[in-house]
Structure 1
Amino acid sequence: MSTGGSTVRAYLSEMGPSWVAGAIAAGPATMASLIAAGASFDYMFLWVVILSAAAGAVAQFLAMRLGLLTERGIVGVVEDHVGEGWAVVLVVDVVVVAGAAQFVIMNTAASVSASLTGVNARIWGVVWGIVLAAGLAGRGYRFIEFLSKALVTVVVLAFVASLWVVPVDYEAAATGLMPSLPAGSGLIAAGILGGAVHITLITMQSYTMRARDWTVRDYDLAALDIGVSMLGAFGVYSVAVFLVAASVLSDPELTAIGAGKTLGPLVGDSAGTLFLLGLGGAAVSTLGGNTVVPPFLVADKLGWGTSVSDTRYRVLLAGFALVSAAGAFIGGEVISQLVLVLALGTVGTPFAIAIVLYLLNSDAVSEPPSTLANAGGLGLLVVSGTLAVNFLREQVGSGIDVLSGTVLAFALLLGVATVVSGIKYVREEVLV
């Protein structure tokens, strides 16, 4: 008979899918938002940082529930229960958002690697592309899960360690638990929350659980996985990065890489090195997790397998990893590129949340979610939708160019799709 302690140890050894999601969430875009929040508003946004981890856990819980109750990838479920056109929209949404993010994340990973080693960033881009292709196509999902667990652990430890050498005023930090939104802070709030509640994290969950052969019998294990990775590891990571930035940084224009370099002369080289190591780990872990998302959905839509046992999926995965190396050749300052990625992710997420809620409350699953779970999902939909609208308003207000115009068109398409999906649900599931 197993004891409580041995059961917990068994759970810890079996966890994984939500760690891959957590690795993507703890990425350079999230870090840039946390740094900007701390450098611009001191400790005032601590409540948003904590809320983001909770919101991310709710989003993962809903996606987990859908995946376990259907035991299928989300694209196939959408195709059967909502319609083929809706499945196509979802795939396009993910490919555009995750694809754009892949290039910018690669640029960030290569830049950090260059800062730490002195080797040219373009060389690092090629190296990381080959490592990803060889690791993912060779070993499949288990490789990315192992990488995510290891790197997220290192990242969390690095930033927690930096708190020991950075003078944090914890009494002042406590005042940031009181909710407030200063003028001009909407974009930063969107960045913090958007890092945890993101379309790539929501849509990948069913595939990573299938890779683990999880079923509804693994419900408790999946819930623990979310709690430890999103509420635990990602929450600690976010709070630690934010407290470091709020304590010693005062330049709101600082980039993530610049923050690491600035910490050296301010509070010692050890803090700067730890920060850059944490940033490097976050960039690489995010890069690895993000690489598997578009191939999962595209393969599912084409009727292919979603593991490396299917040669077509293996080639698709390796090809996406290798092409992403081009991100290191983009050059330039990554902060403006992260803004574009943030915009795409922010406007792409409400549609994914709406689709998950639609399916969870339809005949796609045998057991509908609780009222509390539905309320949490609707809250996420309202918050993500509001953030998307505010983000677009700020972007349009600053003038429409080719990039912002593309984002706006993308947002309008998905906004219409989200509203129509709601009308479709009411007509087919409520008014019958």
Structure 2
Amino acid sequence: MAETTGIGTGERAQPRPRKASWRLIGPGIVVAATGVGAGDLVATLIAGSKYGYTLLWAAVIGCLVKISLAEAAGRWHLATGRTLFDGWRSLGAWTTVYFTGYVVVWGFVYGAAAMSSSALPLAALFPDAMDLKIWAVLCGLVGLVFVWFNRYAVFEKVMTVLVGVMFVVTVYLAVRVTPRLGEALAGLVPVLPDGSLVYTLGLVGGVGGTITLAAYGYWVNAKGWTDAGWMKVMRLDNRVAYITTGIFVVAMLFVGAELLHSSGVALAKGDKGLLDLGDILADRYGGATAKLFLVGFFATSFTSLIGVWHGVSLMFADFVAKYRPSLVPAGTSRERSLPFRAYLLWLTFPPISLLYLDQPFGLVVVYGVIGAFFMPFLALTLLWLLNSARTPAEWRNGRLSNAMLAAAGLLFVVLCVQQVRELPW
């Protein structure tokens, strides 16, 4: 708990401000690592392969957007002492209806996707060991056991190690392909090549943008940051995290620009595109570089898996606690609660069936619609909450925060419409 300084009998104790320190950061690394999955790296690689360095500016803006969203979520938790679901609930019953549908359907489909993504690099590293589906099930079970038996402190340390692996691999690849820094700097000037508008918006909105941005405040609380005295620490933590994300994104765009754009090579869509890149790296730089890349691919995918297993389960436990407090008795750790573990099981076992069956058509459509609405839902509800009397006046949005959240909301509404239009109706 944060230390407080009393200001008199009957008056509310004020939190003692903490100095921002590199030694204290952690939740931001967790949220950034979870949000950047294999699909984000493929999208960035394809951007580099199609447009070279031209869209580098869009990737940078995307990171700034995520900084503003994660900062807003963390600020709500620290300034109000309430969780984000508390805030959503105060806006009306419609938020509860949406969140319920989201966590049920999204979790079911995402579980299968996360397991498959983590299995792909393992199957490529050990081609004769076992079937891809068995690798996927194994990844899901390992994630389940790890999150079930470990609390936040251990979880954060493991995530930090995996982020270190991601960082080393991506930066190594970016250096290995010998980027043209002059062209890269020119790519920081906003330019829209013909036919690139929707793709650019996707690059701005897609990298590191998932429900895990909403989970950031929960990880902040799990770290022990519980009041506004931690605000400076949280902001440093958040900025470091998304600068790290920016380095990942820029590094992969460099690889796409140098390795794919110049040679006209096209990658497959989805996570399998990273396997294509592994083959290209093996041909160009040898098997050792390709294997190192596959290790980084696994770290990227598995951080997303265990991050969602932990963070979204925390959110679900908080959701249940508001309606059935008997299931999360006072003083019980959310990580040890029945709802937390029930959602862990939901993320792991029902999705295994999707690994062996084609995803039902109706489920794909519902998943696509609910998922497309989440980021505009997050941006616009944060804008609402942080400009209302629900937030102490000192910590309400300023002009810059309002501009960033409004721009993010508009961006995600446009992307939402585009995603819904592209669904296989």
* TM-score by shorter chain over 0.5: yes
Using the alignment, how far apart are the partners of 1:191 and 1:273 within structure 2?
Answer: 29
| Structure-2 separation of matches of 1:228 and 1:156 | 13
Give the distance between the partners of 2:366 and 2:298, measured in 1 at CA. 21
1:298 is aligned to 316
Q: Answer yes or no: is 1:273 the counterpart of 2:284.
A: no
- Per-residue deviation, 1:294: 3.5
Report what 1:409 is aligned to.
Answer: none
Q: Distance in 2 between matches of 1:294 and 1:39?
A: 33
Distance in 1 of aligned mates of 2:201 and 2:122: 28
**Alpha-carbon separation, structure 1, partners of 2:158 and 2:348:** 15
* Residue in 2 that maps onto 1:63: 73
Cα 1:298–1:102 change in 2 (3 A) is same
Give how far 1:322 is off.
4.1
**Residue in structure 2 matched with residue 252 of structure 1 by the alignment:** 266
In structure 2, relative to structure 1, the CA distance for the partners of 1:340 and 1:311 (3 Å cut) is closer
Q: Which stretch of structure 1 is more off in the superposition, 287-296 or 349-358?
A: 287-296
Q: Deviations over 1:259-302 (max 9, x none)?
A: 12212112333432232221111001111112234323332222
Asked whether the 8 Å contact 1:248–1:266 carries over to 2, the reply is: no
- Spell out the pairing of 1:2-401 with structure 2 (5 A cutoff): 11-79=21-89, 81-118=90-127, 119=129, 120-196=131-207, 198-214=209-225, 215-231=227-243, 233-249=244-260, 250-254=264-268, 255-303=273-321, 304-305=327-328, 307-326=334-353, 328-329=355-356, 345-367=371-393, 368-393=396-421, 395=422
Moved more, 372-381 or 286-295: 286-295
User: Which residue identity does 1:44 align to in structure 2?
Assistant: T
Structure 1 unaligned spans of 5+? 1-6, 396-402, 406-432
Structure 1 position 98, deviation (Å) = 4.9
SS at match of 1:299: helix
**Cα gap change, 1:122 to 1:391, in 2 (>3 Å):** closer
Contact 2:112 2:352 in 1 (8 A): yes
Q: CA deviation at 1:380?
A: 0.9
Tell me the CA shift for residue 324 of structure 1. Answer: 4.5
Q: Counterpart of 2:424 in structure 1: which amino acid?
A: S
The answer to which of 86-95 and 124-133 deviates more is 86-95
Change (3 A) 1:60 1:235: same
- The answer to whether the Cα contact below 8 Å between 1:48 and 1:192 also exists between their aligned partners in 2 is yes
Amino acid corresponding to residue 92 of structure 1 in structure 2:
G
Using the alignment, how far apart are the partners of 1:300 and 1:116 within structure 2?
39
What is the identity, as a one-letter code, of the residue corresponding to 2:57? W
CA distance in structure 2 between the aligned counterparts of 1:251 and 1:343, rounded to whole angstroms? 32
Q: Secondary structure of the equivalent of 1:182?
A: coil
The corresponding residue for 1:410 is none
What CA deviation, in whole Å up to 9, does each residue of 1:299-319 have, x standing for no partner? Answer: 222215462232342343244
Equivalents in 2 of 1:301, 1:73: separation in Å? 10
Cα RMSD after superposing both structures:
2.8
Query: Once the 2 structures are TM-superposed, how far is the Cα of residue 163 of structure 1 from its aligned partner?
Result: 2.3
Which whole-Å deviations, capped at 9, do the CAs of 1:18-69 have from their partners, x for residues lacking one? 2221012221111110111011111111111111111111111111111111
8 A Cα contact 1:25 1:195, kept in partner? no
Number of corresponding residues: 384
Checking the alignment, whether the CA contact within 8 Å between 2:202 and 2:415 is kept in structure 1 is no
Cα distance, 1:324–1:392 mapped onto 2, change above 3 Å: closer
User: Counterpart of 1:379 in structure 2: which amino acid?
Assistant: A
Moved more, 282-291 or 307-316: 307-316
Q: CA deviation at 1:330?
A: 6.0
Task: Flag the 1:392–1:309 CA change in 2: closer, same or farther, 3 A.
Answer: closer
CA deviation string 1:122-175 (max 9, x = no partner): 222222122111111111333432222111111011111112322322222222
Structure having the larger proportion of residues in helix:
1
CA–CA separation in structure 1 for the residues paired with 2:354 and 2:295: 20
Q: Equivalences for 1:387-426 in 2 at 5 Å?
A: 387-393=415-421, 395=422, 404-405=424-425
When residues 219 and 175 of structure 1 are mapped into structure 2, their CA distance, relative to the original with a 3 A threshold, is same
Counterparts of 1:312 and 1:93 in 2: how far apart (Å)?
16
Structure 2: where are the runs of 5+ without partners? 1-17, 322-326
Taking the aligned partners of 1:201 and 1:154, their CA distance within structure 2 comes to: 20
